[in-house]
Structure 1
Amino acid sequence: MREQRTSAQGAIPVGGPVSGTARKMRFRGGGFVQQRRPVMALLVILGIILVWQGVSSAGLINRIFLPSPARVMTALWGLIVSGELWRHLSASLGRIVYGWLLGTAAGITLGLLIGLFSGARAVGVPLVAAIYPVPKIALLPLLILWLGIGELSKVVTIAASVFFPTAIATFSGVDSVPRNLIRMAQSFNVPLRAIIWKVLLPGALPGILSGFRISVAAALLVLVAAEMIGAQFGLGAFLIATGNMMQTDRLMAGVVVLSALGLAMGAIISFLERKLLTWR
């Protein structure tokens, strides 16, 4: 009689003689590891497009209210060939990049201060809680009065929409870092800058990157709304103009471009997660 040890592949019954090849149990500790399955997403999108095309071709929906995917693609190709799409897209990209970078830098700075210092937390958390629910697009008329109707007011509006979710995600990520790691670094007299760079930021990075996903979506929403209110060029200005003229095929082409822009931003965040969070 002898005992069998538990292996990494699963538990083997203890006691009793070992005869023949021991049956190994399947290891079930997968840890909910996510697998990339892009084919599934493509199939779902393709199915939606086919249903959309079928409904439109059958005449179940008025083509003025919902043009077919074929008409939308034709309109999109016309926008690309004429250069009109790039004129609007380049204006929108410039605004969202500057606004997102400005709001992200300010949000990370405030989030770190709130996470590190009690005084900053006592002042910053109530202010963030009070101002964050206010729709940022509602501040655009006021910002236009302060900063003019040019690009600066739109960039600041986008930055404000990015600032608050980034700050919340940052100090929440800092709070989630185990305090034992920080105390250990302090016990070895590690400088504050090194603690922030080598302990706090890596531990808070998953939360910060999750905040980036929210802030990118918020920036895109506010961008379109701001351009609808006071811009000559941009995707929002293009959408409001085509909607007023009932050019629904061109309108849907602009919506497709916005969706592609959102997918591209999400892909960039996913790339950053794969590169920066390899230790998870």
Structure 2
Amino acid sequence: MADGSLTSPGGIATGDRPEARPVRFRGGGFNPTSPRWVGAAVFVVLIAFLEWGTRAGVISNLTMPRPSDVFATLVDLARSGMLWTHLVPSLTRLAVGSALGALAGIFVGVMIGLFSVARAGLVPLVAALFPIPKIALLPLFVIWFGIDEASKYALIAFGTFTPTVVATYGAVDTVDRTLIRMGQSFGLKWHTIVLRIVLPGAMPGILSGLRVSLAIAIILLVAAEMLGAEYGIGAYILQAGSLYDLERLFAGVAILSLLGVLVSAAIGRLEARLLRWRG
């Protein structure tokens, strides 16, 4: 060609190259994120649908109260002070029982994961205890510990203990053995390997197990309060159900749902703080 540019055999000029386009980085790993407003939007849409359905007659008011009436009941409950009268005992029972069960479960789970003798002796015992319906043991705990707070603490602790044990020793088993061998090759002491390698590596599984354990603890809290408790969310729901007061009953259920959301959010914040090393 007259201007000196090269041409390919097909007659296409190769001297004028197209501009290079940037390639999106694809090595960021699997780190799913979602907008925070999506979860709130789901609740808003669901509540709006129930409000419309109960007002339009699509949903019978005999089976589902209006969300606006439930909200009004919650407001009245808060203004009268009865909300805190029922909520404080429930939170105390949940905090004490789940803390005892989770701490004991993490300790036993780590022992099973680290020591062969503990694994041989305790895994069959945990496997035998795990499928037992914990609610069915409530009368037995009342006989052992009395009808007061001790039996409620014991039931919640026992219900939290077994799933925490299973999640913890499973998480310890999944820690990369190459990292442990590397620590041993550098001459690290046993307790240093456990604190710096095993526990951080097992922490994601432990926290995931805590999510399940605390959800079970809330279920057992309600069951325990329905037997021999004057105050508590479970006692409040039982009283509303016996009177067929749907607004109060669903107000109690809404409190439990909100409690579950707050517990899940707290575990999420704990994960973000403890697992920052994952990037």
Specify whether residues 107 and 21 from structure 1 end up closer, same or farther in structure 2 by C-alpha distance, changes over 3 A only. same
Match of 2:113 among 111, 115, 119: 115
Instruction: Give the TM-score, by structure 2 length.
Output: 0.90
Q: How many residues align?
A: 265
For residues 38-95 of structure 1, the C-alpha deviation after alignment (integer angstroms, 9 at most, x for no partner) is 2111221111111101111112333232110111011111110111111111010000
- Once the two structures are overlaid, the 10-residue window that deviates more, 52-61 or 205-214, is 52-61
Match of 1:251 among 249, 252, 277: 249
Q: Which residue of 1 aligns with 2:11?
A: none
Match of 2:70 among 66, 69, 72: 72
Match of 2:186 among 176, 185, 188: 188
Give the whole-Å Cα distance in 2 for the aligned partners of 1:202 and 1:169. 14
Output aligned runs, 1:206-225, within 5 Å.
Answer: 206-225=204-223
Q: Which residue of 1 aligns with 2:8?
A: none
Q: Which residue of 1 aligns with 2:177?
A: 179
* Structure 1 residue 20, shift from structure 2 partner: 4.8
Residue 127 in structure 1 maps to residue 125 in structure 2: yes
Give the whole-Å Cα distance in 2 for the aligned partners of 1:155 and 1:37. 38
Give the whole-Å Cα distance in 1 for the aligned partners of 2:22 and 2:56. 57
Q: Which residue of 2 aligns with 1:37?
A: 35
User: Structure 2 counterpart of 1:61, which letter?
Assistant: I
Unaligned runs of 5+ in 2: 1-13
Give the whole-Å Cα distance in 2 for the aligned partners of 1:257 and 1:224. 12
* Structure 1 residue 159, shift from structure 2 partner: 0.5
User: Structure 2 counterpart of 1:248, which letter?
Assistant: L
Give the whole-Å Cα distance in 2 for the aligned partners of 1:245 and 1:255. 15
For residues 160-211 of structure 1, the C-alpha deviation after alignment (integer angstroms, 9 at most, x for no partner) is 1111111111111111111122122223332222221111110000000100
Output aligned runs, 1:42-53, within 5 Å.
Answer: 42-53=40-51
Give the whole-Å Cα distance in 2 for the aligned partners of 1:93 and 1:83. 16
- Say which SS state the counterpart of residue 62 (structure 1) adopts: coil
* Structure 1 residue 32, shift from structure 2 partner: 3.1
Give the whole-Å Cα distance in 2 for the aligned partners of 1:255 and 1:48. 15
Give the whole-Å Cα distance in 2 for the aligned partners of 1:236 and 1:133. 24
Q: Which residue of 1 aligns with 2:5?
A: none
For residues 244-274 of structure 1, the C-alpha deviation after alignment (integer angstroms, 9 at most, x for no partner) is 0011101111111111100000000000111
Specify whether residues 170 and 17 from structure 1 end up closer, same or farther in structure 2 by C-alpha distance, changes over 3 A only. farther
Q: Which residue of 2 aligns with 1:230?
A: 228
User: Structure 2 counterpart of 1:216, which letter?
Assistant: L
Larger radius of gyration: 2
Q: Which residue of 1 aligns with 2:273?
A: 275
* Structure 1 residue 229, shift from structure 2 partner: 2.1
Specify whether residues 184 and 26 from structure 1 end up closer, same or farther in structure 2 by C-alpha distance, changes over 3 A only. closer
- Say which SS state the counterpart of residue 188 (structure 2) adopts: coil
Instruction: Give the TM-score, by structure 1 length.
Output: 0.90
Give the whole-Å Cα distance in 1 for the aligned partners of 2:52 and 2:18. 62
User: Structure 1 counterpart of 2:211, which letter?
Assistant: R
Specify whether residues 199 and 17 from structure 1 end up closer, same or farther in structure 2 by C-alpha distance, changes over 3 A only. farther
- Say which SS state the counterpart of residue 227 (structure 2) adopts: helix
RMSD over aligned Cα, in angstroms? Answer: 1.6
Give the whole-Å Cα distance in 1 for the aligned partners of 2:29 and 2:191. 34
Match of 1:240 among 233, 238, 241: 238
Match of 1:153 among 151, 154, 163: 151
* Structure 1 residue 29, shift from structure 2 partner: 4.2
- Say which SS state the counterpart of residue 279 (structure 1) adopts: helix
